[in-house]
Structure formats: structure tokens, C-alpha cells
């Protein structure tokens, strides 16, 4: 088990012929993801370097391949339209990797998505991850070198996005036989956390990069709920950063609804107010969105806090009360 995606998820890439789209389509395909095709208007009927079929429209790709997930690499000006197209075609999991999408586009996207999900049946719900995110990975046990699709890294995992796959560990190959679910607003900080937890002997059920933009798809609460209900997730690590109040809201949610051990880290303790720290959403404004306020609320709601980014694995171990010897 896992959340959002697994070995059976069939994935397409919107923007498959662009340089990033092509690079990461190959990365996912070589990892072992069931890549079934891609979309670039005007290139329908051709194939990419991996031999994957290219379609003019998402609907065309879905009709021909049965794809239920997509990763979007189109330029920011066209990202909202790409998401709308995926929604219209009934794609279940949409990962928008693109950075730099206008906020007002995302306000409209969220309205359309929320309206869809409000009336959708339980199996028709659409999950948007991102934009400005690394994507989602559900690791599988290592079965090959991962250097080509003929020798994939795993035949039982799914990677949708730009993250390195090999740093993740499947439960069956973890020393402690336990899984942590990771949700994060930052890409490389997620890799850091995956690395640390893997080194501690833990596996990961699923890692979700929700992205660094102020208005986005899945939020922390959505992901905590997914992990809470996933029998394959033993503990949760939530990695936030300055800006907004999503971490505080998620901490409140956990206090009422959470039962699994949880650890957290907030990036940006030293960030000056009013300055945007790389991510569009990482800004302290009008005295709200500070790291201290988030950490205080998370501590109060039962999170084990990582004091530094080097301590994220350690915080998970403390939350899970792992034996010192094992760590």
C-alpha cells in the first residue's frame, strides 16, 4: 500500500517533447514507472526516444492508454490550461512540476478543482500536486540498475516527477522494516529527509512534494489525512517553511485526527521579513508566517521538531521512539 500512486499507476507526461519533459520522462521510465505516453499538441502520432506514443491531446492519450496520472512540464503561461485539460480528461493524479505559474491562474484552477471534487464520487476525486514541486514517489524494492527501461530500478514502484529515485527505500529493504510518509513544500529538503530516514534504516511509503507556491493543489492536511489512512505508513514527516499558515492548520488537524507518530521541520528561521526566499510562497508578511509561530504550534500539537535540517531523520526516530541501538 501507499498513497496516491503505486506500481499500477499509468502515467503520461504533458510537455513530453520539451527538454525537461523528455529528461524526466526517461528518468521515471528507467525507474520503473509505468509511463504510457505523452502529450505535445502537433506531435501526435510520433514516438519519443523511449518509444512512448505521443498524442495531441490528453483525452487522446487517456483513450488510447488508460492513463490515470500525468506530470506537467509545460511552460508557466500554459500550465493552468494543461491542468484544466487533465481535469477534463478525468486524470486522477496531476503533478504540476512547472515553476513560475501566476497566482491568479492557480486561484482559478483551485476553484475548478474544488467544485469538481465537491460533487465527485469517492473514486472520481482529482488530486493536484504542485505546481512548483518535485512530484510524488512511491518507492519499490530495487530489482535492477535503473540505467534503462530494460533494466528498471524497480518493478513495483512509481516515480512521477524530478526527484532522485534511488535514495528512497522500500520497506522490504529497510533495516527496521518500518515506513515513514513524507510531505514537503521543498524539493531538495525532501531528498535530504529521504536520505536521512533511509540511512536510519527506515523505508518510505510515499513522498509528496506539495510545492513552494502560495496557492497550490494538495495541502499538508490532505496529505496527513492520506498518510493517516494508509496502513503502510507507520510515521509521518512534515517539512514546511515560512509563509502562510498551512503548517499551523495542519498541526491543529493532527491534534484532533492524527494517531501516528509525527515529526516536523520548518525552514526559514533566519529569513528576514518581507523578502521572498526563492519559493514564491516563502515570505513572512505582516508578522505572520514566521518559523517560530509554526514550530510553537506544531510542538503544542504533538510534533517532534527537528531543530536543524540535519536532525530531520533524528526527529522521526524520536517520534517513533526507535531504540537508540537501532538508530
Partner 1 sequence: MKIHEYQARDILSNAGVPVPAGTVIENVETAASTYKQVSKEAGTDLVVVKAQVFAGGRGKAGFVKLVRSPEAAEEAARFMFSNKMVNQQTGPDGVECKKILMAAGVDIEKEFYLSITTDRATRRNILIASAEGGTEIEVVAESNPDAIIKEPIHPLMGLQPHQARRLAYRLGFKGKQVSQAVKIMIALDTVFREKDCELAEINPLIVTPASQDHPDGQVLAIDAKFGFDGNALFRHKDIAALHDPSEDNANELKAQKFGLSYIQLDGNIGCLVNGAGLAMSTMDIIKHHGGEPANFLDVGGGASEEAVTEAFKIILDDEGVEGVLVNIFGGIMRCDVIAQAVVNAAKQVGFNVPLVVRLEGTNVEEGRKILQDAQSEIPTMQAADDLGDAAQKVCGAVAGA
Active site residues: 279
Q: Contact region for partner 1 (CB under 8 A) — 38-46, 236-244, 292-300, 319-327? A: 236-244
Collect all residues with Cβ–Cβ distance below 8 Å to 65 and sequence separation of at least 6: 10, 12, 36, 37, 53
Minimum separation from the CB atom of position 35 to partner 1 (A): 17
Long-range contacts of 140-147 (CB under 8 A, 24+ apart): 140/7, 140/32, 140/170, 141/170, 141/172, 141/173, 142/166, 142/170, 142/173, 143/32, 144/32, 146/30, 146/31, 146/32, 147/30
Q: Contact region for partner 1 (CB under 8 A) — 31-39, 55-63, 64-72, 303-311? A: 303-311
**Interaction pattern, residues 52-91, with partner 1; x per rule: CB under 8 A:** ------------------------xx--------------
The reply on whether position 122 binds partner 1 by CB under 8 A is no
CB–CB of 167/195 below 8 Å? Answer: yes
Residue from 41, 144, 214, 302 that binds partner 1 (CB under 8 A)? 214
DSSP output for 230-297: -TT--EEEEEEESSSSHHHHHHHHHHHH--S-EEEEEE-TTPPTT---SSTT---BTTBS-HHHHHHH
**Interaction pattern, residues 162-181, with partner 1; x per rule: CB under 8 A:** xxx-xx--------------
Minimum separation from the CB atom of position 307 to partner 1 (A): 7
SS3 category, 217: coil
Write out the binding residues for partner 1, residues 244-283 only, by CB under 8 A: 244-246, 249, 265, 267-272, 275-282
The contact set with partner 1 (CB under 8 A) reads: 23, 27, 76-77, 100-108, 110-111, 114, 162-164, 166-167, 184-192, 195, 212, 214-215, 239, 241-246, 249, 265, 267-272, 275-282, 286-287, 291, 307-311
Amino acid at each position: 500500500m501507499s498513497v496516491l500512486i503505486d506500481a499500477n499507476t499509468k502515467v503520461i507526461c504533458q510537455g513530453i517533447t520539451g527538454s525537461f519533459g523528455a529528461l524526466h520522462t526517461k528518468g521515471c521510465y528507467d525507474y520503473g514507472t509505468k509511463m504510457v505516453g505523452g502529450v505535445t499538441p502537433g506531435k501526435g502520432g510520433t514516438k519519443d526516444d523511449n518509444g512512448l506514443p505521443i498524442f495531441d491531446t490528453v483525452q487522446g492519450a487517456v483513450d488510447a492508454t488508460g492513463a490515470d496520472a500525468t506530470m506537467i512540464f509545460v511552460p508557466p503561461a500554459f500550465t493552468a490550461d494543461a491542468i484544466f485539460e487533465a481535469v477534463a480528461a478525468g486524470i486522477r493524479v496531476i503533478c504540476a512540476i512547472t515553476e513560475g505559474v501566476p497566482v491568479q491562474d492557480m486561484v482559478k484552477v483551485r476553484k475548478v478543482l474544488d467544485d469538481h471534487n465537491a460533487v465527485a464520487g469517492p473514486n472520481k476525486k482529482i488530486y493536484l500536486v504542485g505546481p512548483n514541486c518535485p512530484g510524488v514517489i512511491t518507492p519499490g524494492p530495487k530489482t535492477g540498475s535503473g540505467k534503462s527501461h530494460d533494466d528498471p530500478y524497480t518493478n513495483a514502484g512509481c516515480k512521477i516527477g524530478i526527484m532522485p529515485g534511488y535514495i528512497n527505500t522500500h520497506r522490504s529493504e529497510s533495516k527496521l522494516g518500518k515506513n515513514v510518509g513524507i510531505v514537503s513544500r521543498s524539493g531538495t529538503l525532501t531528498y535530504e529527509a529521504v536520505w536521512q530516514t533511509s540511512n536510519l534504516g527506515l523505508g518510505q511509503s510515499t513522498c509528496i512534494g506539495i510545492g513552494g507556491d502560495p496557492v497550490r493543489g494538495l495541502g499538508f492536511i490532505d496529505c496527513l489525512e492520506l498518510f493517516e489512512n494508509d496502513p503502510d505508513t507507520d510515521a509521518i514527516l512534515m517539512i514546511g517553511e515560512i509563509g502562510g499558515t498551512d503548517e499551523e492548520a495542519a498541526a491543529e488537524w493532527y491534534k484532533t485526527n492524527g494517531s501516528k507518530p509525527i515529526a516536523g521541520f520548518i525552514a526559514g528561521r533566519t529569513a528576514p521579513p518581507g523578502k521572498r526566499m526563492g519559493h514564491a510562497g516563502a515570505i513572512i508578511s505582516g508578522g505572520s508566517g514566521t518559523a517560530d509561530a509554526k514550530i510553537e504550534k506544531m510542538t503544542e500539537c504533538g510534533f517532534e521538531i527537528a531543530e536543524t535540517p540535519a536532525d530531520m531523520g533524528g526527529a522521526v526516530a524520536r517520534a517513533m521512539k526507535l531504540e537508540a541501538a537501532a538508530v
